[in-house]
Structure 1
Amino acid sequence: MPRIQKVLPEQASDKVATQLEAIKAKRGMVPNMFGTLAHAPAVLDGYLAFSEALSKGRLTAVQREVIALALAQHNQCGYCLAAHTAIAKRIGMDEAAILQARGGSSPNETDSAITGLTIALLEHGGELSTDRLEALRDMGIDDGLVLEVIANVAMNIFTNYTNSVAQTDVDFPPVTLAL
């Protein structure tokens, strides 16, 4: 049972109800996480704007999901792992690629570098050595992509923590946390 109940559209202010209806129109449902975020309209606004902005960046949808899957696994967020596994499948990732991303790697060299950066940021509290940054540049991960990875890490840590604290009911096909 969730510790923070979701806000239903009929319980929300007009603005939040409109946002939840827009989410439903876009996604075919209002995932429980959005109902949870609706308790704080400014937070819901910020998340939606940040997510939309990052979707227009240079990272591909697959790269954004690789980041999300690695973080959800590392942070043991069952809700996020289920949601991002469903999204990953929808955008064409197969089960093997999903499991690799959850484990912090990828068969694609660039995606593997991005996942490695993601895990390094987590393990070192956002610190990155000069040598590591230079190695990323040598692999074609320029400063702009590094910043996009950092932004995606921040956004996904936010949702991992939110769903862990709220104990949001999983409304996607469940995924076992153990690899």
Structure 2
Amino acid sequence: MGRLRIHTIESAPEQSRPVLAAVEKSAGFRSNLLGLIAESPGVTQAFAQMGPLLAQSSLGAVEREVVIMTIGWENDCSYCMAFHSFLCRKLQVPDALVAALRSGTTLPDPRLELLAEFTRTVVREKGTVGDDLWSRFTAQGFTSANALDVILALSQQVLVNYANHLGGVELEPALKEFAWTRPSGAAARQA
């Protein structure tokens, strides 16, 4: 058992219950991570409000997963890497792309690799991006809105990545096949 309680819909504070129910319906199982953050209705509501905003952002579905999994890698979040690997399968994201995101290797698509590099830099440098990277980013057709939406994704992921670290969430059976730990000997990739 972890440090923090993992709520069910029935045991969660009233304000957190609708979010838990919606996530359970969408994912097809009760999320231990959402059960953990349910203790704080404010965190639960923030997570729930950011989800639709991110889905409607300037980033496409595959781009969002690249950003989220890059953040998960950088934050060493085993739960989020497993969950988003599961989600990538549902979204039919190419296996080679998911494998590269999970292993921390170069992505097979150069444009998505640049998005991952941009995201790593935003995470590591706390939003500071040099002119060279910005020029390469925009030359590939990425926009200021895309850059800001990387920060939106980061904001949401900090909530759940850090909550996972604080609470030590166990994977649900539906996620076991996607279990992830940073590969042995793999250092953080250079931005």
What is the TM-score with the length of structure 1 in the denominator? 0.90
Of residues 167, 180, 187, the one that matches 1:175 is 180
* Unpaired segments ≥5 residues, structure 1: none
For 2:189, the equivalent position in structure 1 comes to none
For 2:59, the equivalent position in structure 1 comes to 59
| Counterparts of residues 111-150 of structure 1 (less than 5 Å) | 111-150=112-151
* Unpaired segments ≥5 residues, structure 2: 187-191
User: Matched residues in 1 for 2:4 and 2:84: separation?
Assistant: 21
User: Matched residues in 2 for 1:177 and 1:19: separation?
Assistant: 30
Q: CA RMSD in A?
A: 1.8
Q: Partner letter of residue 100 of structure 2?
A: Q
What is the TM-score with the length of structure 2 in the denominator? 0.85
Moved more, 122-131 or 32-41: 122-131
| 2:161 aligned with 1:160 | yes
After TM superposition, which residue ranges in structure 1, 4 or more long, deviate above 6 angstroms?
Answer: none
| 2:42 aligned with 1:37 | no
Aligned-pair distance for 1:156?
1.6
User: Matched residues in 2 for 1:105 and 1:156: separation?
Assistant: 22
Identity percentage over the alignment?
A: 22
User: Matched residues in 2 for 1:104 and 1:39: separation?
Assistant: 36
| Counterparts of residues 3-152 of structure 1 (less than 5 Å) | 3-102=3-102, 103=104, 105-152=106-153
Aligned-pair distance for 1:119?
0.9
1:80-122 deviations in Å (ceiling 9; x for gaps)? 1111111111111243211222326422232111111011112
